[in-house]
C-alpha cells in the first residue's frame, strides 16, 4: 500500500511539473501523452513493464530529422551566399550533442525526465547523451502534436537567436558573414588589401585590412593571406554590428 501511495504522489508531482512546463513554454499539448513520452527514458519503461509506457527513442528519431530540416531551412535563408560545405559545417555545429545539451539545460529538461532507479542513481539525469536525446524527442513530439507551426516558433526562441548572435562563429567563415551583413544592412562590398608581409619565406606573417566604400573596418594578421583576411573580417564584423 505504501508503494502505491508513493507511486501516486510521484505521478501527481510529475503531472504538476509537466503542467508548469507547458505554461512556461507557452505551448499546450493537445495530446499530453506525447509530451510525457518525449521525457520517458527506456530505463523507466523497463521498470514499469505492466503499465502502458513508451520510451522516447522513436520520437528522438523523428525529432532529429525535423531539427535538421528546420535548421537547414533557416541557414539556407539567412546566409544566401554561403557555400554548401559551409552550411553543412555550421548545421553540424548547431545540431551536435554539446549544442543540444546546452539547449536542454537552458530549458531545465533534466528535471522532467522519467528515469529508472538505476539510471537515476548513476547520474543519468545530467548525462549529455540523454539530455540531447530528450531535446530531439521533444521536437519530435511537438511536431506530431502541432506540426511545423509549433516547432519553428520554438526554435525561433531557443536556437535561431544563438546562431544569429554568433554562438557558432567558431565554425563559420567570417568573410562570408561580413559579406552577408553588408549585403543585408549596408551598401557596397568589402575589399581586402595586404598592408605588410613580415618574416622569412618559411614563416611569413601577413597583415591585411578590410574596407567598405573607402572606410577601413578592420585589420588582421595571420600566417597566410586567407587567415589574415579572416581575422580582419572578424574585427570588421564586430565594428559594423556595434555601429548599427
Please say if 55 is a catalytic residue: no
Please, are residues 39 and 134 in contact by the beta-carbon 8 Å criterion? yes
Reading the block at residue 135, the C-alpha cell is: 531535446
Of the candidates 64, 119, 133, 209, the residue annotated as catalytic is: 64
SS3 content of the chain, % helix, strand, coil (to 5): 70, 10, 20
Burial class of residue 143 in the structure, from the number of CB atoms within 10 Å of its CB (0-12 exposed, 13-18 middle, 19+ buried): buried
Please say if 31 is a catalytic residue: no
Could you count the other beta carbons within 10 Å of the beta carbon of residue 123? 9
Burial class of residue 210 in the structure, from the number of CB atoms within 10 Å of its CB (0-12 exposed, 13-18 middle, 19+ buried): buried
Of the candidates 55, 133, 136, 209, the residue annotated as catalytic is: 136
What residues are annotated to the active site? 64, 136
Amino acid at each position: 500500500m505504501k508503494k502505491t501511495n508513493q507511486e501516486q504522489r510521484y505521478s501527481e508531482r510529475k503531472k504538476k511539473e509537466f503542467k508548469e512546463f507547458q505554461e512556461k513554454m507557452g505551448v499546450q499539448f493537445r495530446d499530453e501523452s506525447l509530451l510525457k513520452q518525449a521525457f520517458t527514458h527506456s530505463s523507466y519503461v523497463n521498470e514499469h513493464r505492466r503499465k502502458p509506457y513508451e520510451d522516447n527513442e522513436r520520437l528522438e528519431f523523428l525529432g532529429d530529422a525535423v531539427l535538421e530540416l528546420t535548421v537547414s531551412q533557416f541557414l539556407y535563408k539567412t546566409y544566401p551566399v554561403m557555400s554548401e560545405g559551409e552550411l553543412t559545417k555550421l548545421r553540424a555545429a548547431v545540431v551536435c550533442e554539446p549544442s543540444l545539451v546546452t539547449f536542454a539545460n537552458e530549458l531545465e529538461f533534466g528535471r522532467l525526465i522519467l528515469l529508472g532507479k538505476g539510471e537515476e542513481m548513476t547520474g543519468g539525469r545530467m548525462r549529455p547523451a540523454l539530455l540531447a536525446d530528450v531535446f530531439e524527442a521533444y521536437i519530435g513530439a511537438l511536431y506530431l502534436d502541432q506540426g511545423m507551426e509549433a516547432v519553428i516558433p520554438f526554435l525561433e526562441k531557443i536556437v535561431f537567436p544563438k546562431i544569429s548572435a554568433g554562438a557558432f562563429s567558431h565554425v563559420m567563415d567570417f568573410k562570408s558573414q561580413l559579406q552577408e551583413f553588408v549585403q543585408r544592412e549596408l551598401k557596397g562590398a568589402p575589399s581586402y588589401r595586404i598592408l605588410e608581409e613580415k618574416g622569412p619565406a618559411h614563416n611569413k606573417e601577413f597583415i591585411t585590412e578590410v574596407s567598405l566604400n573607402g572606410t577601413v573596418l578592420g585589420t588582421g594578421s595571420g600566417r597566410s593571406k586567407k587567415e589574415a583576411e579572416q581575422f580582419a573580417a572578424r574585427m570588421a564584423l564586430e565594428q559594423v554590428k556595434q555601429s548599427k
